[in-house]
Amino acid sequence: MADLDRNVLGQSYGATWGQAAAADIDIGLRKHMLQIYNYMASGLLLSGIVAIVVANTGLQDVFFQTAANGRVGYTGLGFVAMLAPIGIILAMSFGAARMSSGTLQGLYWGLVGTMGIGFAVLLKVYTGVSVARVFFITSAAFGALSLYGYTTKKSLSGVGTFLFMGLIGMVIAGVVNIFMQSSMMSFIISCVGLLVFSGLIAFDTQRLKNEYLEVRGTSLEERSAIMGAVSLYLNFVNLMQILLSFLGDRK
């Protein structure tokens, strides 16, 4: 009888400790995801401030030049600013494991800052009201898609392969269309991009949620949050630019 009592007590304590551990993980996960969203939101805010400052001051002449036909082009420094984010993303992607959290943070703020310079073009092409409207539409869509990725019990890992293939196809088609200048191809690329980046928001949210269990309580947790913010930030801004091409009012 005593052995039975001890077994029952052991199962009870085991269940209690299991519940406590699960609750601890759940709290830590929410904190981790909130940190990612805070990084992302702060990055969007900084990009927006930089874009507004560049588009409404003499700095626009440093980065952009307007041709006689009204098309907006880039100066030499403007091309550097446009290419800089690619270099920063590559540096963060391949060097994240060796970099300190402080270095990654610095690169992240540099990334969103230089991205803001590129976004100044949008403010020169589209009306401020339409940019604000599309921003809120994108925010609502992002929130719904990210919530789905966080709460769904269905694994999205298989979908990720197709999304990556679609992304590569978009890049190739975009390069080809630089020479073809086909409006129909541009429309198709935008439609594919709408699906790809919508899917990536849900996929990356679930991936970051699952990744937390691997980095929880280690020195990689902070770095995971920063790199996670980069993924969601890029998904957001790409989705917004595509929606702007459909819904934006040109000046």
Residue 199 lies in a domain: yes
Residue 21 lies in a domain: no
Beta bridge partners of 64: 74
CA distances from 149 to 66, 102, 122, 135, 159 (A): 42, 29, 29, 21, 12
pLDDT digits (tens, 9 = 90+) for 30-68: 999 999 999 999 999 999 999 999 998 888 888 887 765
| pLDDT at res. 3 | 52
Q: Which residue has the tokens 């600013």?
A: 81
Residue 49 lies in a domain: yes
Residue 163 lies in a domain: yes
Residue 124 lies in a domain: yes
Residue 122 lies in a domain: yes
> What's the number of domains the chain is made of?
1
- Ranges of residues in the chain with a pLDDT under 50 are 1-2, 4, 6, 8-10, 12-18, 20
* C-beta separation of 65 from 75 below 8 A: yes
Residue 183 lies in a domain: yes
Q: Domain span at residue 55?
A: 28-247
Residue 167 lies in a domain: yes
Q: What is the pTM of this model?
A: 0.86
Tokens of 249: 């009012």
| pLDDT at res. 85 | 92
Length of the chain: 251
Residue-wise DSSP of 182-237:
-HHHHHHHHHHHHHHHHHHHHHHHHHHHHHHHHHTTSTHHHHHHHHHHHHHHHHHH
| pLDDT at res. 69 | 61
Dist. CA 24–CA 29, nearest whole Å: 9
